[in-house]
Amino acid sequence: MTSPEVPEITSSDAWVNHPHGQLLTRTWTPAGALSGVPILLFHDSLGSVELWRHFPAQLSAATRRQVIAYDRLGFGQSDAYVQELPLDFIADEARTYVPALMEQLGLKRFIALGHSVGGGIAVNVAALYPQAVVAVISESAQAFVEDQTLSGVAEAREQFRDERQVARLAKYHGDKARWVLSAWTDTWLSPDFGTWTLKDVLPRVTCPLLVIHGVHDEYGSLRHPQMIGELSGGPAQVEIIQEAYHVPHREKLEVIVQMVAAFVANLE
């Protein structure tokens, strides 16, 4: 049996305009006919378009779909966020910035895929725009504030006292690096953020949901994927990845690409 031909992938950047600032987007497109609606990626708390690394191109090739990523305001090459990140930033991203992406990129229907806090954003997007979101894929997503998550964030904050670690972050976020770090650690460690949860949002997600979680995830126990799968209002498939931590799409790249490809192949 011969392996299917891997299509050539091209990428292109575009800017989305928003009253609060410009957002960088990047689209990966496979050569030839597309197989279905595009996949929109939502990055994690320190993430950016560049930090998805090889995942978007390989996902585009495996699914024969366009894959789109963007830098949230304050991250990567997007404009700076001129104030502190609000405590409801996960829901706020869905209601404030995603509509501009949908309108200016022509996203009438799409699959929402989010890593870590991006998974929470993807869930909120599906709840707000059920006619647009065909499916949700959450990877290493938190569903509530857990002691394990807070311990991981606190440990990371200590590690970032090393200026070399901040310099590594600045490679992707420029002079916004310290804001990015503060937006993550200060928000999650704030007592006022302690009641955050996806509990009331998940029942409003009626589309198919693929829940991916590493068994050794240092930022969240298996209670998170279990809760996401159980409370979702649509059919949910929960996949626990062995020998994986918080970034399965980097640690187990081929496994995650093929898992997502198989999931989306059955959607349409």
pLDDT of 2 above 60: no
pLDDT at 132 exceeding the cut of 50? yes
What structural domains and CATH numbers belong to the chain?
9-143+197-265 (3.40.50.1820)
Q: How far apart are CA 39 and CA 49, in angstroms?
A: 14
pLDDT at residue 3 greater than cutoff 70:
no
Tell me the average pLDDT of the chain.
95
For residues 96-108, average pLDDT: 98
**Per-residue confidence (pLDDT) for residue 1, from 0 to 100:** 39
What lies within 8 Å, CB to CB, of 73 at 6+ separation is 18, 20, 21, 23, 79, 80, 81, 97
> HSE of 161 in the Cβ direction (CA atoms, 13 Å)?
6
pLDDT digits (tens, 9 = 90+) for 154-170: 998 998 888 888 899 99
Global pTM reads 0.96
Does residue 30 surpass a pLDDT of 90?
yes
**What does the pLDDT look like over 105-117, one tens digit per residue?**
999 999 999 999 9
pLDDT at 46: 96
